[in-house]
Amino acid sequence: MHQIRLDDQLYQEAQRRAAESGFANVDEYVANVLQSDIADTDELNHLFTPERLAEIDHAAAQIAAGNGLTTEQADAELAKRREEWLRRKS
């Protein structure tokens, strides 16, 4: 079994939250928080494939080069697409 060190303030907050959440002790609470955080991170990792990261990098480079849309342009494009979508749905 491994141990971690928490400063007094953090430990007291963990104690409070453990009690509020019904955990028997701080160790169980901290272990649960870490397990939940790790599980949440693992659930999202599949979204960030090398291809998707390359797309994000490309888009960021385009924006940095001034090739992005203004808010007004984006609003106009979204309004246009909304209208098209509404026409198809009716």
How many C-beta neighbours within 10 Å does residue 52 have? Answer: 11
Residue 43 pLDDT > 80:
no
Q: Whole-angstrom Cα distance, residue 90 to residue 80? A: 16
Q: Are the CB atoms for 43 and 55 separated by under 8 Å?
A: no
- Give the whole-number percent of the chain exceeding pLDDT 70: 99
Q: Model confidence over 61-73: pLDDT tens digits?
A: 998 898 888 899 9
Predicted TM-score of the model (pTM) = 0.48
pLDDT in tens, 12-42: 999 999 999 999 999 999 999 999 888 777 6
d(CA 56, CA 63): 11
The C-alpha atoms of residue 80 and residue 87 are separated, in whole angstroms, by: 11
pLDDT of residue 46 exceeding 90: no
DSSP code at position 14: H
